[in-house]
A = this chain, B = another copy of it.
């Protein structure tokens, strides 16, 4: 018998541009994007991916590339892969496609990653009103560990995972997506309560032919039609997609709903490591990478296991089995936020506001140990921190918590009677590069001094 070497299904060359890859990539969801390969139940196969921006961000010490990033292009995905059972019969709508992630890692010869903050006017992030400038940190990989010259004094093992993996939507599901998101896009942001307290960012991104990459679909009327219909890959949706579950590492399984014949599985956006919430948006340590996978099909599994809802029976979410191989951190420091915003305004059981407060509390705290706040913001986006919804019923306050493992720092960051380190900082301050910001820079140092409502 032959060794069980994974069958290469998608191969990439991260030094080449997306259109130059041997197998075409795609960066939109659409049922008509044709498969680039086929796998059977029981096959052990390998998929390679380029980084989500297709090389727009460089291993450099400036954040100008972050500031200027073209987000109409993201995320570049490998696939679709047509999925069949052992006899070659494809997965059918209504089935479950179970995908097992057996191993993964960065591509050989490309062992580095980046995380960063987008400019408020070009992408933004969870705390974009507090950190409006673009910035960036480059991470070097030492096997399973990573360090950054831009955020010194921390080192951790990555819980490496694909940020984005999903099946293709049917035409009917695609229409549902476009309809519901367009409504939000067209809304007046001021009328959306949560947006006003979270940040000034776009509400949703409807289909946009600019920057679209549609795999094997060549130029022509089909391309135009599909590019105008195809959904952006930014949000997670019924098909999985950009769900950013940070523990979806080697040894995990995902049970996806199948909406089109063959399931048309795609993936990309590999993360060397990510914190729960991926708060800075370009928050995980982004990289190119490879995955070793197996699939199996549960016939009729959507109805059996997933409870599709709505008149169309398409409202459904995947189920995940995360890996038993997780790093064991014994000691955590936990920051809490409640749903009272930084201007002192009361919100009603709002976990997003509460989590924002927990993150800001943690940034304030860690910045006392020699880091700039921007460094901590990026660190919380990419290190293995856990974001929890601790209480969601105690009117009027939701309580969210952010737990950070103490062991990733080279100093003891716990409160103690001796007080903070004094004199020369324990951390020799690296300086995360920041793009020159040309907009009007608001200061959020002391937001509470502002009049409510401004």
Which A residues are closer than 8 A to B by beta carbons?
1-6, 44, 59, 96, 98, 100-103, 105, 108-112, 125-126, 138, 140-145, 157, 176, 180-181, 183-184, 192-195, 198, 201-205, 234-238, 242-247, 250-251, 255, 276-281, 283, 292, 294, 296, 298, 301, 304-307, 309-311, 315, 317-322, 324-338, 340, 342, 344-352, 355, 357-358, 361, 364-365, 368, 386-401, 403, 407, 414-417, 419-420, 446-449
Query: Separation in Å of the A13 CB from the closest CB of chain B?
Result: 14
- Copies of this protein in the assembly total 4
Q: Are A401 and B245 in contact (CB under 8 A)?
A: yes
Beyond A3-B110, A176-B344, A319-B365, 13 extra complex contacts between A and B, CB < 8 Å: A4-B112, A5-B109, A5-B110, A100-B142, A103-B143, A202-B395, A283-B393, A301-B415, A309-B446, A320-B336, A350-B351, A386-B388, A387-B388
Are B235 and A394 in contact (CB-based, < 8 A)?
Answer: yes
* Closest B residue to A325 using CB positions: B327
Judging by beta carbons under 8 Å apart, are B321 and A334 in contact? Answer: yes
Name the residue of chain B whose CB is nearest to the CB of A113. B3
21 contacts between A and B (CB under 8 A): A98-B415, A102-B142, A143-B251, A144-B325, A180-B344, A184-B346, A192-B193, A195-B348, A203-B395, A234-B395, A235-B394, A235-B396, A237-B338, A243-B390, A298-B415, A304-B420, A318-B336, A321-B331, A322-B334, A351-B355, A387-B390
- A235 surroundings in chain B (CB, below 8 A): 338, 394-397
Known A-B contacts A96-B415, A296-B417, A319-B334; A350 and B5 likewise in contact (beta carbons under 8 Å): no
Contacts of A234 in B (CB 8 A): 394-395
Across the interface, which residues of B come within 8 angstroms of A342, CB to CB?
309, 315
| Contact status B193-A390, CB under 8 Å | no
Set of chain B residues within 8 Å of A317, measured between Cβ atoms: 335-338, 357-358, 361
**Does the CB pair A278–B391 fall under 8 Å?**
yes
Q: How many angstroms between the C-alpha atoms of A310 and B104 in the bound complex?
A: 46
Find out whether the CB atom of A414 lies under 8 angstroms from the CB atom of B292. no
Q: Is the CB of A292 within 8 A of B143?
A: yes
A278 to B349: give the CA distance in the assembly, Å.
13
Contact between chains at A276 and B244 (CB < 8 Å): no
B180, A346: Cβ atoms closer than 8 Å = yes
Tell me the complex Cα distance, A105–B292, Å. Answer: 13
Known contacts being A4-B142, A102-B145, A446-B309, is A204 close to B395, with CB within 8 Å? yes
Assembly CA distance A450 to B394 (angstroms): 29
Contacting A250 at CB < 8 Å: which of B143, B390, B398?
B143
Q: A109-B3, A346-B204, A401-B245 are in contact. Are A277 and B392 (CB under 8 A)?
A: yes
> Could you say which residues of chain B place their CB within 8 Å of the CB of A447?
309
With a cutoff of 8 Å between Cβ atoms, the chain B residues found around residue A324 in the complex are 157, 327-331, 407
A289 to chain B, nearest CB (A): 13
Question: A243–B62 Cα gap in the complex (Å)?
Answer: 42
The smallest beta-carbon distance between A331 and chain B, in angstroms, is 6
Residue of B nearest to A61 (CB): B1
Given known pairs A4-B111, A235-B395, A392-B352, the reply for A344 and B310 (CB within 8 Å) is yes
Closest to A234 in B: B394
Report yes or no: A389 in contact with B390, Cβ–Cβ below 8 A: no
- Give the Cβ gap from A243 to chain B, nearest Cβ, in Å: 5
In the complex, how many angstroms separate the beta carbon of A130 from the nearest chain B beta carbon? 12
A144 to chain B, nearest CB (A): 5
Q: Which residues of B contact A336 (CB under 8 A)?
A: 236, 243, 245, 317-320
Asked if B242 and A391 make an inter-chain contact with CB atoms under 8 angstroms apart, the answer reads: yes
A355 to chain B, nearest CB (A): 5
Interface-central residue, A236, A342, A347, A389, by most chain B CB under 10 Å? A389
Task: Determine how close the nearest CB of chain B comes to the CB of A295; give it in whole angstroms.
Answer: 12
B-side contacts of A338, CB under 8 Å: 235-238, 317
Listed residue (A105, A328, A334) with the most chain B CB atoms within 10 angstroms of its CB: A334
Q: What is the CB-to-nearest-CB distance from A373 to chain B, in angstroms, rounded to a whole number?
A: 11
